[in-house]
Amino acid sequence: MDALTLLLTRQSAHTLQAPGPDAAQLDVILRAALRVPDFQNLKPFEFLVAEGEGRERLGALMQQAAVASNRPEENIARAPKMPLRAPLVIVVVARARESKVAPLFDQQLAAGCAVMAMQMAAFAQGFAGVWRSGWPMHDENLSRLLGLGKLDRIVGFLYLGSATKPYPPLPTPDPAAFTRHL
């Protein structure tokens, strides 16, 4: 798949199944993340990979966080099942690096770019995925349970696997609707 086709056809898939990326394919996905724009080359990110039983461990941590954060009962009940919706889940963390030049926000943007690069690399290898957020991304208790520092931030959960159904037709928004020329 050429680069422009990839950029213009990528879609998210919300229902995923096995197979997911194998070790070699995951390596390519992670290498793509390490190529994102990164002011000062700080590599201000960390990738927490959950596959197999790791997804259950992640779900248990999500449930612990939901309880500790007094989330609604439906969140508590649903939390352990959330990572089981895909064969592979990558928690992408913006890991704050000390810098006199690169602000924290720039570092968080680099981590966000890493999520997109990983999703693109997975799509280019024939996999489907979705970048999820939701309450766990913003939950301080989950961050603590994952061993994150006070300035670290989860920027997304990348769910990867194989699509369970064909992609719907792509919408074709007009770029002019989102563009102003100065």
Q: Which residues sit in the known binding site for FMN?
A: 10-12, 35, 131-133
The binding site comprises 10-12, 35, 131-133
CB atoms < 10 A from the CB of 23, how many?
7
Contact 120, 32 (CB under 8 A): yes
Helix axes 23-33, 104-124, angle to 10 degrees: 140
Q: Which residue do the tokens 């609604």 mark? A: 72
Dist CA 180 CA 172 (whole Å): 19
